[in-house]
């Protein structure tokens, strides 16, 4: 699914008007442009809180927001708002939620007014080095994390609305 966004011949524009945690944040990393609601958009890799890591986020994050911010978000599970997301390079535009979709459609219109072949070539060329690198490894690591006692405890604690007690197993 992530690579489908990247390989799509047409540019993919994300208009985030709410919570994009975990997989939602990872999906946004694979989009070509990201607009976010100033009032409602929130981003986070919350997987750490249940003993996991955002596999694809760890692959694309360093390219989009840098190594330090990827580690910060992946290791803390902290939530960032739209303005902070723009500051770190995750989001291109922050707009009021009532014009979010209009702004995304306006960008799409400007792109659509250009020659389609040039748009496809531009997107493909910028993304030329992205397929594959690190994905197999992160899928294997994620599969291992799903089998840990810490992951089971993290999920139980989440469902029971309590703090988890991780043991390192």
Enumerate the H helices of the chain as residue ranges: 2-7, 23-30, 55-64, 67-76, 82-87, 100-112, 116-126, 135-146, 149-159
Phi, psi of 141 (to 5 degrees): -65, -40
Q: Is 6 a catalytic residue?
A: no
Number of H helices, E strands in the chain: 9, 6
Q: Which of 6, 39, 47, 103 is catalytic?
A: 47
Among 26, 103, 140, 165, the active-site one is: 26
Active site residue 137: no
- Residues labelled as active-site residues: 26, 47
């Amino acid at each position: 699914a992530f690579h489908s966004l990247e390989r799509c011949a047409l540019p993919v524009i994300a208009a985030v008007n709410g919570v994009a945690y975990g997989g939602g944040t990872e999906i946004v990393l694979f989009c070509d442009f990201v607009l976010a609601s100033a009032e409602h958009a929130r981003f986070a890799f919350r997987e750490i809180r249940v003993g996991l890591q955002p596999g694809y986020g760890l692959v694309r994050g360093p390219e989009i927001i840098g190594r330090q911010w990827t580690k910060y978000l992946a290791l803390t599970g902290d939530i960032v708002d739209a303005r902070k997301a723009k500051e770190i390079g995750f989001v291109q535009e922050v707009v009021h939620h009532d014009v979010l979709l209009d702004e995304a459609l306006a960008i799409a219109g400007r792109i659509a007014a250009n020659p389609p072949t040039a748009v496809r070539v531009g997107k493909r060329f910028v993304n030329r080095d992205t397929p594959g690198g690190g994905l197999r490894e992160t899928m294997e690591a994620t599969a291992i994390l799903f089998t840990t006692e810490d992951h089971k405890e993290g999920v139980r604690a989440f469902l029971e609305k309590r703090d988890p007690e991780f043991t390192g197993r």
